[in-house]
Amino acid sequence: MSLVRLKNVSKVYDTGGVAFYALRNVNLSIKKGEFVAIVGPSGSGKSTLMNILGLLDTPTSGMYELDSRETGKMSDDHLAEYRNLKIGFVFQNFNLLSRTTALDNVSLPLVYAGVSGGDRKARAQASLEEVGLGDKLNSRPNQLSGGQQQRVAIARAIVSNPEVILADEPTGNLDSKSGKVVISIFRKLHKEGKTVILITHDRNVARNAKRIYTVRDGKLS
Ligand SMILES: Nc1ncnc2c1ncn2[C@@H]1O[C@H](COP(=O)(O)OP(=O)(O)OP(=O)(O)O)[C@@H](O)[C@H]1O
Ligand SMILES: [Mg+2]
């Protein structure tokens, strides 16, 4: 049974009266617990695909089933709720709140999920320990290295225990050593049974996954 299933998904933009296919008839099936990489050059459609998989954007045509639910039939509110429940995001530029400690950055998704204060703190701390930052709970982003900031972002992505971790160029802003640490965390999460979808233009990074797809001109192979 697939956790993620795309059937004939296209994303079409109207560029001055001309239809531009950012994605063209994409079919994709990912099982629970898989570690999949999606590679492709700049402009090939990777982020477009990530936004659809993460329920941040909707296909122009085709079907997206996440955990056996057809997402095309959901209202915007329901989509947002489903996204918070199922997806943990990691982006290239970390997206942390700059004046906020690591612990509070990681706690934030739990505020939206309605978890009580004490529980939030304990879970955020456990997530930060999971990524090796148990000694940086009270540090703000500007007191952390790029690699450490990305590890905070991963802790934030996993704190609500989502079904799928979606990472778009998570090592794109990191030196190779910090990149390796970040990738080792994704490998560990996969070993623990998490489903990880890693988007990258770097084949060496992609090699860590068990299955590699390529996007070219909006087509997946
Ligand atoms: N809102 C939009 N309107 C028109 N074209 C768009 C829009 N958003 C994206 N595109 C086009 O869709 C294509 C795919 O973009 P996308 O951001 O998915 O590429 P990418 O593979 O993530 O590239 P990168 O590696 O540079 O991040 C690009 O050619 C882009 O110009
Ligand atoms: Mg992109």
Distance 134 CA to ligand 2 centre (A): 31
Task: Give the domain CATH number at 83.
Answer: 3.40.50.300
What domain range is 15 assigned to? 2-220
* pLDDT per position as a tens digit, 36-67: 999 999 999 999 999 999 999 999 999 999 99
* pLDDT per position as a tens digit, 80-130: 999 999 999 999 999 999 999 999 999 999 998 889 999 999 999 999 999
Q: Which amino acid is at 146?
A: G
- Could you tell which of 14, 44, 200, 205 is best to mutate to test the pocket of ligand 1, judged by most ligand atoms within 8 Å of the CB? 44
48 in contact with ligand 1, CB cutoff 6 A: yes
71 in contact with ligand 1, CB cutoff 6 A: no
Q: At 28, is the secondary structure helix, strand, or coil?
A: strand
47 in contact with ligand 1, CB cutoff 6 A: yes
SS (H, E, C) 184-200: HHHHHHHHCCCEEEEEE
Distance 14 CA to ligand 1 centre (A): 13
